[in-house]
Structure 1
Amino acid sequence: MKILMTALQPGGGIRTFFRYVYSQPVFEGYSFTILAPDQGGLEAFLSTFLPAGRIELVSADPGKAGFMRQVRKMARQHSYDLVHSHGFSAGLLTQLALTGNTTPHLMTGHDMFTKPLFLGFRGHVKRLLMAQLFNRMAAVHTVTEDAKRNFLEFFPSVADERVHPILHGVDAKFFQFGTASDIKKEIGLSTDVPLIGFFGRFMSPKGFRVLVEAMDIVRRRLKVSPMPHIVTFGWGGFIREDYAYLKELGLGDYFHQMAQTDNMPGALKGVDLIAMPSRWEACGLLAMEALAAGVPIVGSDSIGLREVLDGSPARQVPVGNAAALAEALVAEIDDIERRREVFQAYQPAAVARFGIERPARHLAELYVTVAASDK
């Protein structure tokens, strides 16, 4: 099968999707061409983590008009069985570019819609226009059932049967068999000090400030001894503002910033507990990775994350509730040895549940169905 893929922001979850899904044997014999900006070394990333020749990258021209011209030209000059866009913006522009072209178009949504996006008259008009374009697509793929419900809440005119939820997955065995990194030694922390890992980006949806406020409550009200520390990874987003905020609260000594790591299994297993206070997720991949690694995790009951944590031993707290998060973190820390055993006992179930082989197989089946929709 010959597929044209498009993406405008091929980072974060989209890049992880490429790495996990298209590396699978089920896509042997497929021909993928992706039109996307070569941001952050995308070409090098694809050549490192995917089989040689699996995906050819065509660098997108700057600007929306240039992107659409390229989509139109490529779809016209090459006989693709399917066009697969990644992300809502890429999906909408790709559908505009395909006007008059009969090649079936599948879009994968990698995010959630929120009400502030559609406030006022302009927001209402924007939503109507987006609905028209979504209705022209052959199908929409979401990475959780939650994401499907979110999509249909905002775009109820799209037929339910044209939105296909496939719970995403991870390279579960990679996380299962990873070896723990000695993070406490790296940051100069005593082995008896509880270490909590935050692996999210420094953006509002990931809830880092909720974790900061929870730590403030732990220090002032719950008075845990020894006081737990937090380790974070990577840069970007609002890291400067977020770290300035925690220092204003007098928490600077309890937070440690480390560089982004390529050894995620080691980093996950190198902490005592993982905090994931997300406000929303399209799919809680980090939670899948943590559970596959057998590491205790406390998460919010946010859309997209609750679907992953339900049925697992993980404690869930209300979205944005710093006090509840503080109490859950302390409860885990106070019983950390037993809780670690509980999560390790659940690990085989997590590996089976979240392994990438299942969603890759289902996506390949969806490709066949959508490609046949113009026949």
Structure 2
Amino acid sequence: MRYMFGHFPAEFRLTLLAASTQEDAALKDDVKTYEAALSLVKPGGTIHFARAVHGELCRQKYDVILSQGFVSAVSVYLANLAHKVPHIVTIHGIVEPQYLSGRFGSFKRWFLGWLLSRVSVLYGVSNDILEHLYNEFPRLRNNGPQPLVILNGIEPDTFDLLPKEPLDLRAKLGIDGSTFLFGFFGRFMPQKGFDLLIEAVNKLRVAQQNRKFVVVAVGSGDYIREYQETIKSKGLEPYFHFLPFQPMVHHLYPQVDTVVMPSRWEACPLLPMEVLCMGTPLIAANCIGTREIINDTPTFVIEENNLKQLIEMMLACMQDNMPDNFQAYQIEARKRFNVATAAKKLVLFLNDMPGHI
């Protein structure tokens, strides 16, 4: 939303309905840049959100609904039964087994597949994620809605800007210049592999004797307390520094020596795009979604969920960091990942839909 909608033509009128979270302030700032109306819905479950969507559809006429992910798709489908507005479902996550298991697991899986077969368009943010959906629901491949794949993108021009009060990481955290900084940016959840990074640090504190290092972890997420407890139980507190969500976080990338992204899966992640555009060395797992982004880049690639390779790559970066390749790739990265190309494709698609704006 931050990047794509900013490139929509002026004749597009955008209204965002979003569940209220701890990042509401950032969302409010973002929508101002692309002049969208914003309605924050208090948490209350699928039916509660569906009522909010239905109310909005009753108030104003819309040409298309673009729902983000499976949970949103269910709410929108229920709300849209009486309105029949063309419905595009953005696929930006895997079908996670824990949500389709238990006593009613089979029914949930059937219902999700049935619902997805009745929307207008399945919009994958990468080829990987759309293929994953087809593997989970094979009938959608040949008999499902119209498919659309447009990779995510970012706004490279904004990366030359700084926040009003830039953060100096080393000064803020009291870290001297000789200490190697690994950066972890994003949400603290199993998908992102932060637990794998904790295990790697636990091994490295024994294996790496020649240079001090720490991990600066910036972000938020449901599992942050569990991870902090694990760090404490292993005696790793000196090796980790946590910071909350940071606006314009890109200005922190060059302040770390290497960004680590040991994800187990992604759809089409923005983080590697942003890091590569800033010329910062990157270690990333070759997992679903990410591999499309880091292919043909200088990224230090490890296999998904491979602790041994992660440790080896972190050691290699500390012993012989090679940022020149990454700095040279900046120009290419800013061309390759520019969201203007992606937004143009989406706008053309929307204008070609029946009843387009």
Instruction: Give the TM-score of the pair, scaled to structure 1.
Output: 0.86
Aligned-residue offset at 1:46: 4.6
1:186 Cα shift? 2.3
Cα deviation 1:200-252 (Å, max 9, x = unaligned): 222111111111111122222x3241132111124442222212212322322
**CA-CA distance at 1:51 after TM superposition:** 4.4
How far, CA to CA, are the matches of 2:52 and 2:222 in structure 1?
A: 30
* Aligned with 2:153 (options 151, 155, 169): 169
Displacement of 1:40 in angstroms is: 3.6
| 1:239 equivalenced with 2:221 (yes/no) | no
SS across alignment from 1:93:
helix
- Superposed displacement of residue 281, structure 1: 1.1
1:13 maps to what in 2? none
Equivalent position amino acid for 1:366 in 2: F
Distance 1:39 1:235, change over 3 A: closer
- What residue number does 1:118 align with? 100
Matches within 5 A, 1:309-324: 309-324=294-309
Contact 2:88-2:122 at 8 Å conserved across structures: yes
Q: What secondary structure, in the 3-state scheme, does the structure 2 residue paired with 1:31 have?
A: coil
Q: Which moved more, 1:209-218 or 1:159-168?
A: 159-168
Provide the secondary structure at the position in 2 that maps to 1:158: helix
Distance in 2 (CA, whole Å) between partners of 1:46 and 1:244 is 30
Residue 129 of structure 2 corresponds to which residue in structure 1? 147
Q: Gaps spanning 5+ residues in structure 1: where? A: 1-17
Identical aligned residues as a percent:
29
The equivalent residue for 1:275 is 260
How many aligned residue pairs are there?
352
Cα offset for 1:37?
3.1
Could you list the per-position Cα deviations for residues 292-312 of structure 1 after superposition, in whole angstroms to 9, with x for gaps in the alignment?
A: 111000011111111111111
Aligned equivalents of 1:347, 1:52: Cα separation in 2: 25
**2:330 corresponds to which residue?**
347
The equivalent of 2:198 in structure 1 is 212
Matched residue SS, 1:200:
strand
Q: Secondary structure at the match of 1:23?
A: helix
- Comparing 150-159 with 54-63, greater Cα deviation is found at 54-63
1: distance between equivalents of 2:197 and 2:74? 35
Deviations 1:28-58 (A, max 9, x none): 221112233344463x545523446721123
Instruction: Report what 1:291 is aligned to.
Output: 276
Q: Which residue of 2 aligns with 1:250?
A: 235
Q: CA deviation at 1:368?
A: 1.9
**Paired position in structure 2 for 1:308:** 293
> Residue in 1 aligned with 2:344?
361
Deviates more, 1:154-163 or 1:198-207: 154-163
**Corresponding residue for residue 57 of structure 1:** 38
Shift of 1:108: 1.0
Match of 2:353 in 1: 370
Bigger CA drift: 47-56 or 246-255? 47-56
What SS does structure 2 have at the residue aligned with 1:250?
Answer: coil
SS at match of 2:186: coil
Match of 1:138? 120
Q: Indicate if the aligned counterparts of 2:26 and 2:247 stay in contact, CA closer than 8 A.
A: no
For residues 178 and 59 of structure 1, what CA distance do their matches in structure 2 show? 28
Paired AA for residue 243 in structure 2:
M
Kindly state the Cα deviation for residue 172 of structure 1 after the two structures are TM-superposed: 1.9
TM superposition shift of 1:100: 4.6
Instruction: Read off the aligned partner of 2:69 and give its amino acid letter.
Output: G
Give the distance between the partners of 1:172 and 1:279, measured in 2 at CA.
26
Contact 1:138 1:370 in 2 (8 A): no
Distance, in Å, in 2 between the alignment partners of 1:284 and 1:230 is: 21
- Partner AA of 1:320 in structure 2: N
CA displacement at 1:63 relative to structure 2: 4.2
In structure 1, which of residues 175, 189, 202 is the aligned counterpart of residue 175 of structure 2? Answer: 189
Report Cα offsets for 1:66-93 as digits up to 9, x if no partner: 4333433543553321122122111122
Match of 1:4 in 2: none
Of the three residues 56, 74, 77, the one matched with 1:95 is 77
Contact 1:177 1:293 in 2 (8 A): no
Provide the alpha-carbon RMSD of the alignment. Answer: 2.5
| In 1, Cα distance between equivalents of 2:101 and 2:32 | 44
Tell me the distance in 1 between the aligned counterparts of 2:268 and 2:311. Answer: 24
Residue 109 in 1 paired to residue 91 in 2? yes
Q: Give the distance between the partners of 2:95 and 2:132, measured in 1 at CA.
A: 7
Contact in 2 for aligned 1:176/1:292 (Cα 8 Å): no
Give yes or no for contact 1:205–1:278 (8 Å, CA) kept in 2: yes
CA distance in 1 between counterparts of 2:202 and 2:108 reads 41
User: Aligned partners of 1:297, 1:49: CA distance in 2, in Å?
Assistant: 27
2:260 is aligned with what amino acid? A
Secondary structure, aligned partner of 2:14: strand
Which of 196, 207, 213 matches 1:228?
A: 213
